[in-house]
């Protein structure tokens, strides 16, 4: 078996704002396996500033993994605990190799074009007029659930934006999720959640920064609206620690990003622990190319989770690969009429 990798810089069509700053581009790494004429493709979408494996030796470790591909997936995963995005890239590549199809990793009604996945429409941070314009586009496109990034504007401006949405659309018409990316101070967080709850918000992701377990636990206990953990899950590797985290904080939901959590296996561990503690979940992407997004979408469909998921078609980038992923009326489909083109 032979393994190689290459780096690709994804370019945003327009600068995309988060509470961590404005994103202009996003680097990703593709692994290609070849064995007896069969090929497998995986993506290591390490997210700088967010991934636990954002380290100086990331590419050296990826090079090591490719040079030692003969060890097999299980051995490699065991030695790459601290590099969840490389784990995911390898798991993805081996799965596609074993399926004898680089892009159909989890055959199902979804990959046969007969099933779809409900998704939320993502609204990026910006001035109110820019965010309102995005919202109108999503509503016109048939989305019934939208997710707003908050925490960058003045809080009163964000509340005014939410009020303007609710003045026009009821909670029965549009479900609103908000994502603070840890932007709130623990001292003020509960009061902000109370003000947000006036607008029938479905949930808020990561209201305060990760690592403040007791503060987050108290917030989840007192909150007037459901809290979903996101960044909080990053860097928690074994099942015992996952159980401790969820049993300590007791969130209403968790958000699963396979690239940041060690792939499908790492994410499934979180699902199992969440279910045993009556905690809900959904899956979301982390700005992967369509290679990674395709794998995440196919796996997500097999979970049969009825909640809207945080997926899309990679349409944020100017230089993504062509894929069959298609959004129609707020649902993600696999369009068999569109062929893959693994040329960036």
Q: What string of DSSP letters covers 54-122?
A: -STTHHHHHHHHHHTGGG-HHHHHHH-TT-HHHHHHHHHHHHHHHTTSTT-SS-STTTTTS--EEBPEE
Annotated active-site residue 133? The verdict is: no
Per-residue pLDDT tens for 148-194? 988 877 899 899 989 988 988 899 989 999 999 899 999 999 999 99
Cα gap 290→321, rounded to integer Å = 6
Please state, in angstroms and as integers, the Cα–Cα distance from residue 245 to each residue in 27, 36, 238, 267, 273, following that order. 30, 44, 11, 15, 10
312, 146 contact by CB (below 8 A): no
Return the number of other C-beta atoms located less than 10 Å from residue 233's C-beta.
22
Catalytic pick among 257, 337, 339, 343 = 257
Parallel/antiparallel/unpaired status of strands 145-149 and 121-123: parallel
**DSSP percent split of the chain into helix, strand, coil, nearest 5:** 40, 25, 35
Classify domain 117-334 by CATH number.
3.20.20.120
**Contact at 8 Å (CB) between 144 and 177?**
no
pLDDT computed for residue 303 by the predictor: 98
Q: Is the pLDDT of residue 344 over 60?
A: no
299 by DSSP, 3-state: which?
Answer: helix
Structure confidence at residue 323 (pLDDT): 93
Report the chain's terminal Cα–Cα distance, integer Å: 25
Closest CA to 42 of 306, 295, 249, 219: 295
Q: Could you give the strand order of the β-sheet that contains 331-334, starting from the edge strand earlier in sequence?
A: 117-118, 331-334, 325-328
- What tokens appear for 143 in the block? 């989305």
β 117-118/175-179 pair status: unpaired
Is 3.30.390.10 the CATH classification of the domain at 2-98?
yes
| Model pLDDT for residues 212-254, shown as the tens digit of each residue | 999 999 999 999 999 999 999 999 999 999 999 999 999 999 9
Would you state the structure tokens that stand for residue 11, as one six-digit string? 């370019």
Lowest mean pLDDT among 63-72, 95-104, 243-252: 95-104
pTM of the predicted model, to two decimals? 0.94
Q: How many Å apart are CA 306 and CA 299, to the nearest integer?
A: 14
Report residue 19's pLDDT band, with 50, 70 and 90 as the boundaries: low
| pLDDT of amino acid 136 | 86
Q: Mean of the per-residue pLDDT values for the chain?
A: 93
Catalytic-role residue among 26, 138, 147, 149: 149
- Mean local confidence (pLDDT), 79-86: 97
Phi, psi angle pair for 255, to nearest 5°:
-110, 125
Cα 85 from Cα 45, distance rounded (Å): 6
Q: How confident is the model at residue 35 (pLDDT cuts 50, 70, 90)?
A: very high
pLDDT the model gives residue 18: 60
Is 149 a known active-site residue?
yes
The DSSP annotation for 4-60 comes to: EEEEEEEEEEEEEEETTEEEEEEEEEEEEEEETTEEEEEEE---TTTSTT-STTHHH
User: Cα 24 vs. chain centroid, distance in angstroms?
Assistant: 18
Work out the burial of residue 172: count CB atoms within 10 Å of its CB; fewer than 13 is exposed, 13-18 middle, 19 or more buried: exposed
The tokens for 75 are: 């051995």
What's the confidence (pLDDT) of residue 128?
A: 76
Tell me the three state secondary structure of residue 265: helix
In the chain, CATH 3.20.20.120 covers 117-334
Specify the pLDDT at position 169.
86
What DSSP letter does each residue of 109-160 carry, written as one string?
Answer: TTTTTS--EEBPEEE-BS-HHHHHHHHHHHHHTT-SEEEEE-SSS-HHHHHH
């Amino acid at each position: 078996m032979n393994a190689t990798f290459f780096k690709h810089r994804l370019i945003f069509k327009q600068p995309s704002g988060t509470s961590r700053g404005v994103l202009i581009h996003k680097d990703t790494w593709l692994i290609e396996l070849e064995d007896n004429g069969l090929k497998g493709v995986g993506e290591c979408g390490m997210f700088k500033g967010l991934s636990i494996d954002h380290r100086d030796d990331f590419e050296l470790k990826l090079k090591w993994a490719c040079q030692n591909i003969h060890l097999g997936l299980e051995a490699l995963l065991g030695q790459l605990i601290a590099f969840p995005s490389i784990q995911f890239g390898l798991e993805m590549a081996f799965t596609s190799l074993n399926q004898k199809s680089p892009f159909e990793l989890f055959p199902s009604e979804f990959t046969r074009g007969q099933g779809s996945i409900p998704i939320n429409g993502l609204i990026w941070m910006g001035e109110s007029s820019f965010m309102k314009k995005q919202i109108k586009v999503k509503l016109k496109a048939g989305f019934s659930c939208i997710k707003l990034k908050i925490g960058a504007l003045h809080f009163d401006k964000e509340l005014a934006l939410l009020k303007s949405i609710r003045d026009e659309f009821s909670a029965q018409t549009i479900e609103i999720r908000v994502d603070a990316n840890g932007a709130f101070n623990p001292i003020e967080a509960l009061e902000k959640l109370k003000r947000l709850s006036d607008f029938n918000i479905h949930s808020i992701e990561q209201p305060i920064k990760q690592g403040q377990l007791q503060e987050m636990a108290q917030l989840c206990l007192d909150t007037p609206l459901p809290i979903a953990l996101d960044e909080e899950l990053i860097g928690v590797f074994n099942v015992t620690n996952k159980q401790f985290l969820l049993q300590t904080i007791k969130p209403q939901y968790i958000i699963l990003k396979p690239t940041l959590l060690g792939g499908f296996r790492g994410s499934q561990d979180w699902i199992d622990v969440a279910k045993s503690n009556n905690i809900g979940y959904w899956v979301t992407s982390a700005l992967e190319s369509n290679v990674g997004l395709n794998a995440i979408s196919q796996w997500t469909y097999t979970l049969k989770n009825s909640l809207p998921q945080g997926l899309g078609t990679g349409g944020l980038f100017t230089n993504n690969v062509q894929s069959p992923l298609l959004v129609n009326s707020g649902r993600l489909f696999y369009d068999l009429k569109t062929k893959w083109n693994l040329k960036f």
